[in-house]
Amino acid sequence: MKRNLSSALPTTPPKTDVRPVLSPGDVVEILCTDLIAKTGQAVGRSDGMVVYVLGPVPGERARVKIDIVKAKYAVGDLVELLERSPDRVEPFCAVFGTCGGCQVQHLAYPAQLVWKRGIVENALRRLGGIEGARVGAPVGMANPRAYRNKMALVVDHASPDAAPSFGFYAARTHDIVPIASCPIVMPQLDRAIAGLWDAARDPATTHSFDDARHVIARAGHASGESVLSITTDRASTTLPALGAALAAKLPGTVGVSNSFEPPSENAVMGRRNVTVSGNAAMHEAIGDVNFNVSPASFFQVNSEMVGKIFGYLASQPLAEKRFIDLYCGAGTFALFFAKAGARVVGIEENPSAIREANANAAVNGVGDRTAFMNGRVESVLRSKTGVDALKAADIVFLDPPRKGSDEGTLDALVRAKVPHVWYLSCNPATLARDLAHLLAGGYVLGSVQPFDMFPQTGHIEALAALHRADVAPFSFPTQEA
């Protein structure tokens, strides 16, 4: 006989005196056990409730004043460090903790690498349900500073009676932190910051920044060249006449352009771009691959680390392999594969990046081994040309944006039964999600090798190598600590 459980339940719940474990204004002691990658906040617990606080690093005990209490967590302000970790170091930037660019300058670099390996492992296990993945120790930098080859400054017109200023957004806000220098960007870009402040206060060049929203600069490590783009809502009426004078104030700058018609309020670049002085692109060389890259195109921000990824990929036989490079940008990896003797089809949505990829293929003498297709990846892979390319491919290499790939693209790889998939990701969460999708479609995960593309931040790049269950895997080495 079935029992009617509903009749056994009380009709009125008993009264209980329920209140949050913590309240705003409480001062508690916590042991910090982890960091939040996006914010740099330390994580601890008080009476079972999770507490987030900026300032401590893992292993430190801290006194914290509670500021915000939610149902499942609280946020507090650091009052005092009670026990300091040997992994704590002094931040080297004067605006660390205010500027939103870096999250972990206060954590020693070797400890950053250990922590980032854990981020990848935890994402695979907790978000992807992938147990026992072979994750290498992150490949790091000998000098984890002055590495960024691109910067995007916000132009602040706060005072209509004063020259504009330049800065980065504060963490988790659109408040602007004025920046006089930045120890994370390459030296020529750091010098350009001072040049921009000078140009904005010089009557001969100050109108270069009329109606400017952002200034974007990209530099080449090998060439010392840089190019500058100023973003406005509409085509600038003042910049064309002043571009050459502005470039003269910025050592190494070989070109100035105007980017306009941004697609959204938060967009840094516009839909259209016009060169107003000099060259549209700067020159960079990584290994034996040459690139000419504009500020608008996607190109990895750490040229040294790209070189290390090239070296890692070169440990495998690449000659005569047939690659498809999805989200190929200006052809960074497609050109590397082609220079190694492979045949490559690259697919990219940005038409200017495709133009640069074709031009760079010619510069590198690999035009006969590359073919670049302009369009959304998922759309191209649904076309007959895309389907035929997938069926002929030995390896699909993909390096999608932070949001990851989409199910349609992943399903296309599964349907075509591409023997090998090499997935380079800057977001462990979406990497874990997409890998789980591919594993469910018959792929096997061989190895995951992180690369520290973004020292001093909570971001980490990782390269996952997958293969179909019925083909032999590539034997990628994973770095040990």
pLDDT for 191-219, tens place per residue? 999 999 999 999 999 999 999 999 999 99
Q: Is residue 47 part of a domain?
A: yes
Question: DSSP state, 96?
Answer: B
The residue among 385, 409, 383 whose CA lies nearest residue 396 is 409
Q: Is residue 172 part of a domain?
A: yes
Q: What is the mean pLDDT of residues 133-162?
A: 95
Q: Output the CA–CA distances (angstroms, integers) from residue 178 to 85, 155, 157, 175, 200, in the order listed.
A: 31, 9, 12, 10, 14
CA pair distance 437, 457, nearest whole angstrom: 28
Residues 131 and 155 in one domain: no
Q: Is residue 96 part of a domain?
A: no
Q: What is the mean pLDDT of residues 230-246?
A: 98
457, pLDDT greater than 80:
yes
Which contiguous run of DSSP H or E holds residue 66?
strand 61-69
Would you tell me how many other CB atoms lie within 10 Å of the CB of residue 101? 23
Contact 422, 463 (CB under 8 A): yes
Q: At what angle do helices 407-416 and 384-392 cross, to 10 degrees?
A: 50
Of 251, 284, 317, the residue that ends a domain is 284
The length of the chain is 481
437, pLDDT greater than 60:
yes
C-alpha triplet 123, 125, 129: angle, nearest 5°: 115
Q: Is residue 401 part of a domain?
A: yes
Residues 374 and 400 in one domain: yes
% pLDDT > 90, the chain: 90
The residue among 35, 25, 23, 27 whose CA lies nearest residue 59 is 35
Could you say which of 32, 93, 99, 426 is catalytic? 426
Q: Is residue 315 part of a domain?
A: yes
At 352 the pLDDT is 87
- The owner of tokens 């001072």 is 194
12, pLDDT greater than 60:
no
The dihedral over CA atoms of 104, 109, 114, 120, expressed in degrees to the nearest 10, equals 50
Q: How many domains does the chain have?
A: 3
251, pLDDT greater than 70:
yes
480, pLDDT greater than 90:
no
Q: Is residue 423 part of a domain?
A: yes
Q: What is the mean pLDDT of residues 256-269?
A: 95
Contact 176, 170 (CB under 8 A): yes
Residues 271 and 307 in one domain: no
**pTM (2 d.p.):** 0.92
Sheet containing 443-451: which strands, arranged edge to edge?
370-374, 343-348, 322-326, 395-398, 420-425, 461-468, 443-451
At 8 the pLDDT is 38
Structural domain of 55: 27-83
What type of residue is 202? D
Structure tokens at 406: 């989409």
Mean pLDDT of the chain: 94
Residues 310 and 445 in one domain: yes
The residue among 349, 463, 305, 320 whose CA lies nearest residue 398 is 463
CA pair distance 303, 453, nearest whole angstrom: 9
Domain of 169, CATH number, reads 2.40.50.1070
397, pLDDT greater than 50:
yes
Give 29's pLDDT tier (boundaries 50, 70, 90).
very high
At 20 the pLDDT is 66
Q: Is residue 132 part of a domain?
A: yes
Lowest-pLDDT range of 139-148, 291-300, 362-371, 437-446: 291-300
Residues 387 and 267 in one domain: no
At 319 the pLDDT is 97
At 21 the pLDDT is 84
At 6 the pLDDT is 38
Q: What is the mean pLDDT of residues 406-414?
A: 96
Give 3's pLDDT tier (boundaries 50, 70, 90).
very low
Domain of 306, CATH number, reads 3.40.50.150
Contact 250, 193 (CB under 8 A): no
Residues 417 and 327 in one domain: yes
Of 257, 284, 311, the residue that ends a domain is 284
407, pLDDT greater than 70:
yes
Q: What is the mean pLDDT of residues 373-391?
A: 96
Residues 332 and 444 in one domain: yes
Residues 6+ apart with CB under 8 A from 10: none
Q: What is the mean pLDDT of residues 337-362?
A: 95
Residues 318 and 436 in one domain: yes
Give 18's pLDDT tier (boundaries 50, 70, 90).
low
Residues 321 and 435 in one domain: yes
15, pLDDT greater than 90:
no
pLDDT for 80-113, tens place per residue? 999 999 999 999 999 999 999 999 999 999 999 9
Domain of 45, CATH number, reads 2.40.50.140
Residues 280 and 180 in one domain: yes
The dihedral over CA atoms of 354, 360, 362, 366, expressed in degrees to the nearest 10, equals -90
At 186 the pLDDT is 97
Question: DSSP state, 276?
Answer: E
How many angstroms separate the first and last alpha carbons of the chain? 62
Residues 375 and 463 in one domain: yes
Of 284, 319, 339, the residue that ends a domain is 284
Question: DSSP state, 125?
Answer: I
Q: What is the mean pLDDT of residues 31-44?
A: 96
Of the two residues 176 and 12, the one the predictor is more confident about is 176
Would you tell me how many other CB atoms lie within 10 Å of the CB of residue 351? 10
Residues 175 and 265 in one domain: yes
- The owner of tokens 């910067």 is 151
Q: Is residue 108 part of a domain?
A: no
At 161 the pLDDT is 80
Examine the residue annotation and report whether 32 is marked as an active-site residue of this protein.
no
